[in-house]
Amino acid sequence: MAVHNIVVIGASYAGLGTAHYLLRHTIPALEKANSTTKYKLTLISATTHFYHKVGAPRFLASPDLIPLSKAFLPIRDGFKRYDEEHFELVIGTATALDEARKTITVSDTYGSASPRTVTYSTVVLASGSSSESPLWSIPGSHENTIAALKAMQSALPNAKTVLIAGGGPAGTETSGEIAYLFPRIDITLLSGGDRLLTRLRPAIGAAAESQASALGVKVVHNLKVTSTSRTGSQTTAALSDGTSRTVDIYIDATGIRPNSAFLPRSWLTEKGYVITRDNTSLRGPADGVYAIGDVAGYSLGGALDIIDAVRPLCFTIFADLAGPNAGGVKPKPFKQTVTETQLVPIGPKGGVGSLFGWRLPSFLVWLIKSRSYFIGTVPGTVTGDNFVKA
């Protein structure tokens, strides 16, 4: 019997959600529609553990608020329900993709094995994004990120000065978490532009600055870090105005880059994101190629661009693979949320934000995100329980 291998590259929020939905719903339906074909899913993950990076601003500030054991969960345990005939987990980093041969070269993240080749029939690109700091994403082993978080937790109680570069959610939230727990620390937040939180309306950015300032954070605009150097336990940051600043702790929260260097250049936009032929089907730049999450060109970088895209993507894959045997099942178009939606805690007691264009009071930001940083959703993300229903 022919085997059709659906390969999902990436095992963060987008990759895990897509893999579980395909295994729970799409593959069983495909095997009914095409009885002469066996469908298998191969998940390529650069690391053994899922990291709930949404909660990083709180994790780094203290070991007592949310244990790291709740933030990092083993990926393999989440797929125990599936048989080997239908599922394989490959731990390693995708380093090359050959479009003509339909092969992916996977290098061992931990350096203990030779590179291997994975052949795909269909491929879902969900490789996500990376940051300059290991606090926000996993560079290789998840142990690197755990070590970075623990180092920050140990350093903060003795620090006198902290400099945070980046006025987006990560930098703004981190400034609030540290300021709330360590009010004696001199904290400076460089927005890098003319205000905080540029994806939200100016009034909400101003409210975020006001809340951060009330906690003792000094917010500085139109100033960027151009380079850094370490001297002993301190960091000296060269600034865009020609000056420099030496601090006990420097935190780089300046943004992300797509994990797409292994892909054919013709598949990517100028900024390195995967081309999606249209933003409703999530079909990628070639037949049998799909993209979802931070690496995809359609994404605005928000959680809803993943959560709302999993089902439509999997319906598109089913319709494409089942063809005339789809039994009337049609793709469900992805409807992207383009109205203002972002929640930004400023410390554990509240924050600022907007939901579908509605500005939220601080209390609702606390209720939805600030009190727990969605830590209760992590087990379901890893096990696929968030996608039990088709």
CA–CA gap between residue 248 and residue 204 (Å, rounded): 30
Q: Provide CB contacts within 8 A for 200, sequence distance 6+.
A: 208, 340, 342, 344, 352, 353, 354
CA nearest neighbour of 108 among 126, 96, 94: 94
The number of angstroms, rounded, from the C-alpha of 300 to the middle of its chain's C-alpha atoms is: 12
pTM: 0.95
Give the per-residue pLDDT at 180. 98
Region 112-124: mean pLDDT is: 92
Give the per-residue pLDDT at 143. 94
Q: What is the CA radius of gyration of the chain?
A: 22
Reported confidence tier of residue 113, pLDDT bands at 50, 70, 90: confident
Helix (H) or strand (E) holding 168: none
CA–CA gap between residue 231 and residue 238 (Å, rounded): 13
pLDDT at 109 over 90: no
The number of angstroms, rounded, from the C-alpha of 82 to the middle of its chain's C-alpha atoms is: 25
Reported confidence tier of residue 323, pLDDT bands at 50, 70, 90: confident
Reported confidence tier of residue 51, pLDDT bands at 50, 70, 90: very high
Region 211-238: mean pLDDT is: 97
Q: How many CA atoms lie within 13 A of 149 on its CB side?
A: 30
CA–CA gap between residue 22 and residue 336 (Å, rounded): 21
The number of angstroms, rounded, from the C-alpha of 106 to the middle of its chain's C-alpha atoms is: 21
CA–CA gap between residue 355 and residue 345 (Å, rounded): 14
Give the per-residue pLDDT at 68. 97
Region 356-381: mean pLDDT is: 97
Give the per-residue pLDDT at 140. 81
Give the per-residue pLDDT at 108. 85
Give the per-residue pLDDT at 197. 98
pLDDT at 389 over 90: no
pLDDT in tens, 253-270: 998 899 999 999 999 999
pLDDT at 105 over 90: yes
Give the per-residue pLDDT at 78. 97
Give the per-residue pLDDT at 324. 85
Give the per-residue pLDDT at 289. 98
The sign of the CA dihedral 206, 207, 213, 217 is negative
Please work out, in degrees rounded to the nearest 5, the angle formed at the alpha carbon of residue 229 by the alpha carbons of 224 and 234.
100
Residues 348-387 as b/e (b if ≥16 CB within 10 A, e otherwise) read: bbbbbbbbeeeebebebbbebbbebbebeebeebbbbebb
CA–CA gap between residue 225 and residue 240 (Å, rounded): 6
CA–CA gap between residue 288 and residue 298 (Å, rounded): 18
Q: Provide CB contacts within 8 A for 336, sequence distance 6+.
A: 279, 298, 300, 304, 305, 308
Give me the percent of the chain exceeding a pLDDT of 90: 89
CA–CA gap between residue 302 and residue 292 (Å, rounded): 12
Region 31-55: mean pLDDT is: 96
pLDDT at 139 over 90: no
CA nearest neighbour of 44 among 111, 114, 95: 95
Give the per-residue pLDDT at 114. 87
